[in-house]
Amino acid sequence: MSNSQAFIGRVLQANATGFLVGCRVPQLQESGLAFGALVRVTPAENDPAPEIFGIIAEIHLPGDELVRQLTVAPDVPASIHTDQHQRNLPVEIQVLSLGYRDADGRIRHLLPPRPPLTLA
């Protein structure tokens, strides 16, 4: 699958100017996407919402108590590093909306008429 068609994650939150996407570290690594990349949200088949285009403005890896403890540990074995990178923790990707595809198929360089639905 090419990067232009790769599934990255699902919408966690949305507002008039952007949205927050959640994914796992392997999904982000496999996609090759980075800060500044152009992304899109494609609505479900029966959803009349427009396809929304945006740009990645922030990538956030939330910490947890285990990470806090490991940062002050004197020696952390390589196996712990490997386990940490494979944990099922979400990566949060903040996207700024840049435009949308209207019902006629034209791309509009305006904020979308409504934000994407969660889990889109």
pLDDT tens digits, one per residue of 34-55: 899 999 998 877 788 899 999 9
Most confident listed range (19-28, 58-67, 71-80, 101-110):
101-110
The amino acid sitting at 53 is F
CA-nearest of 56, 58, 57, 52 to 16 is 52
Counting residues of the chain whose pLDDT is more than 70, the rounded percentage is: 95
**Would you state the pLDDT for residue 4?**
59
**pTM of the full structure:** 0.79
